[in-house]
Amino acid sequence: RAEERDEMVMKGDCEAAAPFDTRLNEAATIVDVDDGALNAYARAIGEKPSAELLARKGLIEHGWLTNAGVILFAKEPGRFIVRSEIEVDCRIGRAAESGLPDGGRSCVFDMPTATVLPAIRDHVCGILFDEQVASNGDYPVAAWMKRLMNAIVHRDYTARGD
């Protein structure tokens, strides 16, 4: 009986007990997977990109993505999980000099986590180098990328609301 329970599609009472990342997303299917993200992931682990790969990793079941599958591989995770986009706000110099609120340059990334990190790195480095801030080594890329990774991994994706 325990094996049958583990194989059930998690709905109702079972869903509350299951961790958020392992729950099936009620809207996202295999057609919502970003091919570039899946290809990059499969290449990184030395496998062929496929639905079977996602199933073995617990990211898809019966054609439906889990919440983790959505965050990692969906074309637009924000369509399926509220507030799953990543907003990067770069604060450069003094607010009065930049002409922007708080001296920031904000950009929202609604991309699969598997491909968003290089996009964010390019965005931030472009701003830092444009402003000639990073050239003196004050902002080591490895340090702020580590902080970004920690923020993504430890974020509470269960938060709901507008």
Question: What pLDDT was estimated at residue 44?
Answer: 92
| pLDDT band (50, 70, 90) for residue 90 | confident
* Pairing of β 104-109 and β 64-66: unpaired
Question: What pLDDT was estimated at residue 22?
Answer: 92
Q: Does the predicted model carry a pTM greater than 0.85?
A: no
Measured CA angle at 70 (ends 10, 7), to 5 deg = 25
- DSSP secondary structure letters along 64-98: EEEHHHHHHHBS-GGGTSTT-SEEEEEE-S-HHHH
As a whole number of angstroms, the distance between CA 117 and CA 154 comes to 15
Both tokens of 100, joined, read 């922007």
- % the chain with pLDDT above 70: 72
Span 113-121, average pLDDT: 86
Span 131-159, average pLDDT: 73
Report the 10 Å Cβ neighbour count for 61: 16
Q: Is residue 116 pLDDT above 60, yes or no? A: yes
Continuous segment of H or E residues that includes residue 150: helix 141-153
As a whole number of angstroms, the distance between CA 148 and CA 124 comes to 11
Continuous segment of H or E residues that includes residue 60: strand 60-61
Instruction: Give per-residue pLDDT as tens, 43-87.
Output: 999 999 999 999 999 999 999 999 999 999 999 999 999 888 888
Instruction: Give per-residue pLDDT as tens, 1-15.
Output: 334 434 544 444 455
Span 143-156, average pLDDT: 82
Coil, strand or helix at 61: strand
